[in-house]
Amino acid sequence: MMARNANIFPDIQITVNRKDKERFLKQHSIVIWMTGLSGAGKTTIAKNLEAELLAQGYIAQILDGDNIRSGINNNLSFSEADRFENIRRIAEISKLFVQGGVICINSFISPTDKIRDMAKKIIGKDDYIEIYVNAPLEVCEDRDVKGLYSKARRGEIKDFTGIDSPFEEPLNPDVEVNTDIQTAKESVQQILDHILPLIEFKKDKN
């Protein structure tokens, strides 16, 4: 990791603060961080959650693993070091969205406690809502819409989470949805029940 440049002052140009932006958007910004195996349903839930929030008057932005890795993080592999750097960059981007008053919906495997704790530290624990999108490995493999598990089983993809790279289940997520027994609609509603009181705009918020 590159050393921080002592001559960079990231906050010096800020003229409109976060609370002003939240007041304008009439929402409290947070990061909704969804973690889970590939195929668990993170992206589907994220898209449905974004649509439901928009319908209720909230502005949200999805950050998704495929889109981020095909763009800003396209120079990273799936090694342990690069997985860590991938999430570090995503967390920094998420923090900028929060500072801009926007609700950030993140859909990333983020497979270890260490990685998730790092993201929470960067974003800030009060702005980080962890959602565990839980589905058994065999269910995720049966879905396998991208054919990734099949390739991993054949050895064509290395360091694939759940096959030859571990996934550590979150011990204390803010919300856990079980997509092997819940519909996407039910999962989204469960998440909404938790986050709506947090993002609701209140004039007396400091």
Q: Token pair of 180, please?
A: 């092997």
Alpha helices, H only, the chain: 18-25, 42-55, 65-70, 80-99, 113-123, 137-143, 148-153, 184-199
Q: Give backbone dihedrals phi and psi of 69, rounded to 5 degrees, phi first.
A: -75, -20
Q: Are 173 and 128 in contact (CB under 8 A)?
A: no
110 is catalytic: yes
Query: What is the β-pairing status of strands 103-107 and 128-134?
Result: unpaired
Active-site entry in 110, 150, 165, 187 = 110
- C-alpha 135/C-alpha 142 separation (Å) is 11
Residues with active-site annotation:
110
